[in-house]
Amino acid sequence: MAADEDPDRATPISSPKSREHDSAAPRMSPVLAFDLGGGGLRGGLIDAQGRLGAFAARPAASPVAGGEYDPQDWMRALCEVAADIARADPAGFAAVGAVAICGFTRTQVFLDADGESLRPAIGWADARAAAIADGLRAAAGDRPEAAHLNAYHPLARLVWFAQAEPARFARLTRVLEPKDYLAFRLTGVAAGDAVSQTRLEAARAQGLFEAAGIDAALAPPILRPTDVVGPIRADAPGVFAQLAGRSVVAASHDSWAACVGLGALRVGGAYNLSGTTEVFGLFAPAPVAAPGLLCVDWGGLHHVGGPGQNGAAALDWAMRALTGRDGVGVDALLAGAAAGAPLVFLPYLNGERTPFWDADLRGAFVGLTSAHGPADLARAVLEGVAFHLRRLLERAEAATGLAAAEIRFGGGAARSPIWRSVKADVCRRPIVACDAAEPGLVGVAAAAFVAAGRYAALAQAQDAMARPACRVEPDASRAARYDTLYALFGSAHEALAPISHALAALGRAEGAS
pLDDT tens, per residue, the chain with 513 residues = 444 456 556 777 643 333 344 444 344 599 999 999 877 999 999 999 999 999 999 998 667 766 899 999 999 999 999 999 999 999 999 999 999 999 999 899 999 999 999 999 999 888 899 999 999 999 999 999 998 899 999 999 999 999 999 999 999 999 999 999 999 999 999 999 999 999 999 999 999 999 999 999 999 999 999 999 999 999 999 999 999 999 999 999 998 999 999 999 999 999 999 877 899 999 999 999 999 999 988 988 999 999 888 888 888 888 888 777 766 667 777 776 677 789 999 999 999 989 998 989 999 999 999 999 888 998 999 999 999 999 999 999 999 999 999 999 998 888 889 999 999 999 999 999 987 789 999 999 999 999 999 999 999 999 999 988 899 999 999 999 999 999 999 999 999 999 999 999 999 999 865
Alpha helices (H) along 107-197: 130-140, 154-164, 166-169, 178-187
Asked if 77 and 40 touch (Cβ cutoff 8 Å), the reply is: yes
Cα dihedral sign, 269-55-315-373:
positive
What pLDDT is attached to residue 391? Answer: 98
Using alpha carbons, list the distances in angstroms from residue 99 to 57, 95, 102, 250, 474: 16, 11, 10, 9, 39
335: nearest Cα among 371, 369, 373: 373
Ramachandran angles phi, psi of 244, nearest 5°:
-55, 135
Name the region of 245 (left: φ>0; alpha: ψ -120 to 50; beta: rest): left
Using alpha carbons, list the distances in angstroms from residue 384 to 14, 349, 423: 31, 11, 10
Alpha helices (H) along 452-475: 458-465
72 in a structural domain: no
CATH of the domain at 299: 3.30.420.40
67: nearest Cα among 8, 189, 162, 151: 151
What pLDDT is attached to residue 21? Answer: 40
320 in a structural domain: yes
Asked if 353 and 307 touch (Cβ cutoff 8 Å), the reply is: yes
305 in a structural domain: yes
Using CB atoms within 10 Å of the CB of residue 178, give its burial: 0 to 12 exposed, 13 to 18 middle, 19+ buried.
buried
Alpha helices (H) along 248-373: 254-262, 312-323, 330-334
Domains in the chain: how many in total? 1
Residues 6+ away with beta carbon under 8 Å from 375: 1, 333, 334, 335, 336, 337, 338
- 204 forms beta bridges with none
229 in a structural domain: no
Asked if 267 and 285 touch (Cβ cutoff 8 Å), the reply is: yes
11 in a structural domain: no
Name the region of 165 (left: φ>0; alpha: ψ -120 to 50; beta: rest): beta
3-state secondary structure 362-406: CCEEECCCCCCCHHHHHHHHHHHHHHHHHHHHHHHHHHHCCCCCC
- Parent domain of 479: 263-437+466-509
Distance of CA 106 to the CA centre of its chain: 10
Q: At what angle do helices 417-427 and 374-400 cross, to 10 degrees?
A: 50
356: nearest Cα among 309, 315, 398: 309
310 in a structural domain: yes
Residues 6+ away with beta carbon under 8 Å from 220: 174, 175, 176, 180, 190, 191, 192, 197
54 in a structural domain: no
Distance of CA 102 to the CA centre of its chain: 10
Using alpha carbons, list the distances in angstroms from residue 377 to 42, 125, 383, 464, 482: 32, 25, 10, 42, 16
19 in a structural domain: no
